[in-house]
Amino acid sequence: MSLVPMKRIEIIAMQRDAKKIVETLQRQGVVDISDLTPCAPDETDVAPTSPSIAQLDRHIATTTVAISAIEDRAQVKKSLLSGFAGRSEMPFDVFSREVKRADDYLRIALSIETQRRLIDSERLSISHTYNRLQQILPWQSLDIPMQYKGTDKTAVFIGTLQGLWTDLSFDDAFRESYSNLFGADSSDPSHAGDSDSTSTKSATVSTVLADPSASIHFPPYVIEWIHTTNMISCLCLMTHKSDANAVEATLRQIGFIVPTDPTTHPPKHRIDRLRARIKASEALIAEADAKLTSYVEDLPSLYFLLDYLNMRMEKYRILDHLLFTQKAFVLSGYVPSHRAEDFRAKLESKFDIVVEIDEPSDDEVVPAQFSNNILVSPVEDIVMTYSPPTRKDIDPNPVMSFFYYLFFGVMLSDAGYGLLLTLGTFFVLRVKKPEGAKRKSMLMFMYCGMSSVLWGLLFGSFFGNAVYAIGHNFFNSDIALSAFWFNPVEDPMKLLIVSMILGFIHILAGLALKFVNMFRQGHRLGAFFDVGLWWVVFAGFILIILNMVMTTSAPLGTIGKWLAIGGAIGLVLTQGRRNPSIPGKLMGGIASLYGISGYFSDILSYSRLMALGLVTGIVGEVFNTIGTSLGSGIVRVFIFIPVFLFGHAINLGISALGAYVHTNRLQYVEFFSKFYEGGGKAYQPFASATKHFKIKEEI
């Protein structure tokens, strides 16, 4: 029930054993290896492990990606609770057998990677090909190559115009541009007469002859619209060779664009080729896909591979931190005292090794680990989150856990919610078997739930006033869950006072821990000055308050007054004792009395117990009222059930969240400020940090 004492361990062994020793350390999982600062760079060398680490990193990345790809294919369903699941156990002989096959597994991972890459690149090529196909598709009905320039006598222009065009609109635009360009000098040779349709390609061919009535002779042309849409019109225009330059200039004026990538064969040819290419890619993807699907059954092997690679990674990180000489290496760290001797014996029996076990010196930051029973240990992580303890701190967990569950219960204060919380966490614990921190938090909420059940019964709250609401509205009975103590909704002042009394006890407990800690460290007088005198002051105040609320003949008020004054004088005299000068001592002492306001606001802070407790109860009642006030007869039941479920689910969620955060705050701010300093570091033994399998060590 306390902080686990730690020993400092130093290992000196032969370099050839380095890997094996590190592996043993990893499997034992008891040594917290501190980083070594090289003592003298010329004497020692750091092992050249960096290339291995880089390679392992690559393999881990490959395996991680491979696993997620296969999980997608296997449609592994990740439920909300799956995050809580513990690792499955793997006996050591299975582990050793699997290790021998790790290379095969790696090959699988690499092959998955290859297939995945193949799929990606083929997908990319499909989309690329598809884009090209879209560009060429409008030209499908053109039966000459797009690069076709014409015959001996004719010139052919193939290209596009923006927007929708018809024969008429084109002819108008053509004539207008032509007259603009060449209207001034009608020197251009007229071939109006001998325009003969050499091409009789299709029925849509339109022959537009130059207007004989105009003074300008327009060059004759034949146009065929290959494809027209609102966006773009693809055309093929033929004219006499001698008019080629003039026609080209005119076309450009209208906005004619030559395709960037014209075909050397009729476009149909290229379309077929692109379609075939897409088909081939799709076939490749399907093949790779099938291959990937066939790897689904290798998923456990991949999980193993990832764990194994991570273990090796850890190992190399440690090897990287070792100090090597020509023949030997040094490693140091911390071991829990009770395992130190056993551990030394194990190492010495296996290797040529020197193991030295020392008490850590006072100025060292020794990694901290708590050791508590199953009732107390769940809150350990709450303390670690605040700050891991140093060796100067006392373990706050035994006292804190009691108040933690207590306060959570007062704030959630509903037997129904408490029951749900208890059963829910119990279910997760039994079915998912979470480990480590997750298990601890589940246990913690289970105890918190039990405490809520207790307080819910004391306050007569079960899903708000559900018993009364249902009984009254559906069964015409006046049954109600009566409070074992009192109903806070009816008497909130009482709850406020109870909250503050609980808070006061909490603060006194904090001070008691400070007293114990100071006493333990030998500051006996200090313990009395810093804590005992405050207790005297508090005792005085309590007597004064008692005198006010009770009618008694005993002179409680007077005793209380003098106690408080005496305590205060004691504080003034002692609290400045660390200051060097007499006036400094006195000023420090007087200033310490200001602490009274601190205690006062601390106690007020516990009014949140009452506020959150009331909120849970009243919001629960509100939902019950809404649920029972709509409709009548059987309809009312059908309205009530969803309102009840939805309303209480929300209320449970928000109230439990509020209870959790505010309980934490009361511990961190009001409780810890009295005695706990923290600032240490948590004990993190070098072990197999695996994700999927827990390797059972043979002992």
Partner 1 sequence: MGFLGIILALTGAALSVTLTCIGSAKGVGMTAEASAPVMIDDPSKFSKLLILQLMPGTQGLYGLVVTVMVMLNIGLLGGSPDLSLTEGLLYFFACMPIAIGGLISALMQARVTVTGVNIVAQKPSESGKAIVSATLVEFYALLCFIASMLMVLNISRLGL
What does the binding site for partner 1 look like in residue numbers (CB under 8 A)?
83, 382, 385-386, 492-493, 496, 604-605, 607-608, 610-612, 614-615, 618-619, 621-622, 625, 654, 657-658, 661-662, 664-665, 668-669
Q: What is the CA radius of gyration of the chain?
A: 43
Nearer to partner 1 among residue 397 and residue 575 (C-beta): 397
Q: How far apart are CA 351 and CA 349, in angstroms?
A: 6
Q: How far apart are CA 563 and CA 535, in angstroms?
A: 10
List CB contacts of 109: < 8 A, sequence separation 6 or more. 59, 62, 63, 66, 302, 305
Q: DSSP letters of 265-330? A: S-HHHHHHHHHHHHHHHHHHHHHHHHHHHHTGGGHHHHHHHHHHHHHHHHHHHHHHH-EE-SSEEE
How far apart are CB 611 and partner 1 at their closest, in Å?
Answer: 5
How far apart are CB 614 and partner 1 at their closest, in Å?
Answer: 7
What amino acid is encoded at 411 in this protein? Answer: M
How far apart are CB 574 and partner 1 at their closest, in Å?
Answer: 31
How far apart are CB 373 and partner 1 at their closest, in Å?
Answer: 24
CA 74 to chain centroid: 23
How far apart are CB 601 and partner 1 at their closest, in Å?
Answer: 10
Q: How far apart are CA 671 and CA 448, in angstroms?
A: 18
Nearer to partner 1 among residue 239 and residue 651 (C-beta): 651
How far apart are CB 547 and partner 1 at their closest, in Å?
Answer: 25
How far apart are CB 469 and partner 1 at their closest, in Å?
Answer: 12
Is 450:375 a contact under the CB 8 Å cutoff?
A: no
How far apart are CB 382 and partner 1 at their closest, in Å?
Answer: 8
Nearer to partner 1 among residue 250 and residue 616 (C-beta): 616
Nearer to partner 1 among residue 156 and residue 614 (C-beta): 614
Nearer to partner 1 among residue 124 and residue 497 (C-beta): 497
Residue appearing with tokens 């149909």? 268
Q: DSSP letters of 623-658? A: HHHHHHSSS-HHHHHHHHHHHHHHHHHHHHHHHHHH
Nearer to partner 1 among residue 80 and residue 549 (C-beta): 80
How far apart are CB 518 and partner 1 at their closest, in Å?
Answer: 26
Residue appearing with tokens 């827990």? 694
How far apart are CB 669 and partner 1 at their closest, in Å?
Answer: 7
Q: Which helix (H) or strand (E) covers residue 334, if one does?
A: strand 328-336
Q: Which of 351, 358, 142, 180 is nearest to 266 (CA)?
A: 142
Is 624:465 a contact under the CB 8 Å cutoff?
A: yes
Nearer to partner 1 among residue 345 and residue 661 (C-beta): 661
Is 420:412 a contact under the CB 8 Å cutoff?
A: no
Nearer to partner 1 among residue 64 and residue 607 (C-beta): 607
Exposed (0-12), middle (13-18) or buried (19+): which is 530, by Cβ within 10 Å?
Answer: buried
C-alpha pair distances (Å), 20 with each of 10, 54, 56, 315, 563: 17, 21, 18, 10, 68
Is 334:9 a contact under the CB 8 Å cutoff?
A: yes
How far apart are CB 19 and partner 1 at their closest, in Å?
Answer: 31
Per the structure block, which two tokens stand in for 462?
A: 């079960």
Nearer to partner 1 among residue 471 and residue 492 (C-beta): 492
C-alpha pair distances (Å), 335 with each of 8, 10, 25, 472: 6, 10, 11, 64
Nearer to partner 1 among residue 46 and residue 654 (C-beta): 654
Nearer to partner 1 among residue 47 and residue 69 (C-beta): 69
Nearer to partner 1 among residue 277 and residue 665 (C-beta): 665
How far apart are CB 654 and partner 1 at their closest, in Å?
Answer: 6
Q: Which helix (H) or strand (E) covers residue 587, if one does?
A: helix 582-593
